[in-house]
């Protein structure tokens, strides 16, 4: 498949003078025949899902690194995968203009959500698992779906450019969306109303993620920066510089102390959220890092890349270095 230009580590370690996050490459997962666009851990941490431009989704046993299943049904690139909070369902979004739901136990496609929704670049489950959000193409609104019925419950309109990323707040009341226009919007899930617009990136926003306490939103963009936002006030509280090209993915660790990011520069970076410093940079991928994900216990980081592989990293706190 030819890449849709819409998108949307490790060897050398750069250590800040304050502290370090020790990280060790456990395994490189190989099996996809095209770029890996999205990775997601199942809530029990035992399974990892990956979506690829080879039109497939693969499930991996995290402990052994073995590919346990390959889910086929999409007719084009799979850009996003997400597990339901109970781990029983996997959602996938594709350039084929559909969202598919899969039974994780049987590996069967249980539903296909479509209907003039355009290409799907990101999918996300609400914390209660009852709602699924999807976003993507030009002049197509963000959609909220009732997972049980597969019907659209709301369309969120306001962005004037494609939306590359969406994320639910931990309490499920708010949805954040990042657009190629360079803006981030917050939406009230119950009413479907746009409640805030964050402006500050000079180029398109590729990714958004809420901190575990819901107070901070992180965004990565084509301007090579990561910005941290105070959700309540909408103020940009910090700008993290370090990536040499656009930032494709950001994710907070479960304890909220670390932010991981992946970018077109093939790097995975770790950031200390107390000091807002880059504590480690990993560059063993040979292609852009399109997606990063922490395991639920925060001990493993997965990174998916355009080099067709997924790296699994073991993490543990490092000792403070001398100032």
* pLDDT for the residue numbered 180: 94
pLDDT, mean of residues 268-283: 96
Show me where the domains of the chain are located: 21-317
Q: What is the pLDDT at residue 258? A: 97
Averaged confidence pLDDT in the chain: 92
Q: Where are the beta strands (DSSP E) in 42-173?
A: 47-52, 56-61, 67-72, 78-83, 89-94, 99-103, 109-113, 120-125, 131-136, 142-146, 152-156, 163-168
3 state SS of 208: strand
pLDDT at 155: 94
Q: Choose between 268 and 23: higher pLDDT.
A: 268
- Mean pLDDT in residue range 256-280: 97
The yes-or-no verdict on residue 121 having pLDDT over 70 is: yes
* CA–CA separation, 272 and 259 (whole Å): 7
Which uninterrupted H or E stretch holds 309?
strand 309-317
Say if residues 261 and 292 touch (Cβ distance below 8 Å).
Answer: yes
- pLDDT higher than threshold 90 for residue 37: yes
pLDDT in the model for residue 139? 75
Pairwise CA distance, residues 113 & 102, whole Å: 12
**What confidence category does residue 137 fall into, taking pLDDT thresholds of 50, 70 and 90?**
confident
Tokens (6 digits) for 77: 């690139």
Q: What is the pLDDT of residues 51-84, one digit of tens each?
A: 999 999 999 999 999 999 999 999 999 999 999 9
Q: Which tens digits make up the pLDDT trace of 150-192? A: 999 999 999 988 999 999 999 999 999 999 999 999 999 999 9
Q: What is the CA radius of gyration of the chain?
A: 18
pLDDT at 316: 77
Res. 2 pLDDT band, cuts 50 70 90 = very low
**CATH of region 21-317:** 2.130.10.10
Q: What is the pLDDT of residue 240?
A: 98
User: Does residue 122 carry a pLDDT above 70?
Assistant: yes
C-alpha 278/C-alpha 259 separation (Å) is 9
Q: Provide the whole-model pTM.
A: 0.92
Burial of residue 149, with CB atoms counted within 10 A of its CB: 0-12 exposed, 13-18 middle, 19 or more buried: exposed
């Amino acid at each position: 498949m030819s890449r849709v230009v819409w998108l949307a580590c490790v060897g050398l370690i750069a250590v800040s003078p304050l502290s370090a996050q020790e990280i060790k490459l456990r395994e490189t997962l190989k099996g996809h025949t095209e770029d890996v666009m999205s990775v997601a851990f199942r809530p029990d941490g035992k399974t990892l899902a990956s979506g690829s431009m080879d039109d497939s989704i693969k499930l991996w046993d995290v402990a052994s690194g073995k590919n346990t299943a390959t889910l086929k049904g999409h007719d084009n690139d799979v850009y996003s995968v997400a597990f339901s909070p109970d781990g029983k369902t996997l959602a996938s979004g594709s350039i084929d203009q559909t969202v598919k739901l899969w039974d994780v136990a049987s590996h069967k496609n249980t539903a296909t959500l479509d209907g003039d929704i355009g290409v799907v670049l990101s999918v996300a489950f609400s914390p209660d698992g009852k709602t699924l959000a999807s976003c993507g193409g030009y002049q197509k609104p963000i959609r909220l779906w009732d997972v049980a019925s597969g019907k659209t419950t709301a369309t969120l309109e306001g962005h004037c450019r494609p939306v590359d990323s969406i994320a639910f707040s931990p309490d499920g009341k708010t949805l954040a969306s990042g657009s190629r226009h360079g803006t981030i919007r917050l939406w009230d899930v119950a009413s479907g109303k746009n409640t805030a617009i964050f402006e500050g990136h000079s180029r398109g926003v590729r990714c958004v993620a809420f901190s575990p306490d819901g107070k901070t939103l992180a965004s990565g963009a084509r301007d090579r920066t990561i910005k941290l936002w105070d959700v309540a006030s909408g103020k940009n509280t910090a700008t993290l510089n370090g990536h040499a090209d656009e930032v494709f993915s950001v994710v907070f660790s479960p304890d909220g102390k670390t932010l991981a990011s992946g970018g077109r520069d093939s790097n995975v970076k770790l950031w200390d959220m107390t000091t807002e410093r880059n504590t480690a940079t990993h560059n063993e991928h040979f292609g852009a890092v399109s997606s990063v994900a922490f395991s639920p216990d925060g001990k493993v980081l997965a990174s998916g890349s355009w080099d067709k592989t997924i790296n699994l990293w073991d993490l543990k706190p490092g000792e403070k270095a001398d100032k």
